């Protein structure tokens, strides 16, 4: 099985960045929703933020996975077969 050079490193960096962006996106989305609802309790805000951040993690992994599957599919089609 042929691998493109640096693909594991690139995948690791992309997973780290995707995880970080998912956590930040979940926190921002929760803040926005809580501000719209007028919730002021710090405890409720913290719990909702943690739930939102945990809910967005699978979306981040999914997007990174889809990007790498599309990348690997396009590079394998470009190579001539034996």
pTM (2 decimals)? 0.72
| Percent of the chain topping pLDDT 90 | 52
pLDDT score for 9: 87
Cα–Cα distances (Å) from 2 to 7, 13, 52, 75, 80, in that order, read: 11, 20, 39, 10, 12
% of residues, the chain, pLDDT over 70 = 82
pLDDT of residue 21: 93
């Amino acid at each position: 099985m042929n691998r493109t050079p640096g693909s594991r490193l690139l995948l690791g960096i992309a997973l780290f960045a995707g995880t970080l962006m998912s956590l930040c996106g979940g926190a921002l989305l929760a803040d926005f929703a809580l501000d719209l609802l007028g919730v002021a309790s710090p405890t409720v805000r913290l719990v909702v933020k943690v739930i939102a951040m945990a809910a967005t993690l699978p979306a981040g992994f999914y997007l990174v996975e889809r990007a790498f599957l599309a990348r690997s599919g396009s590079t394998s089609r470009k190579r001539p077969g034996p």
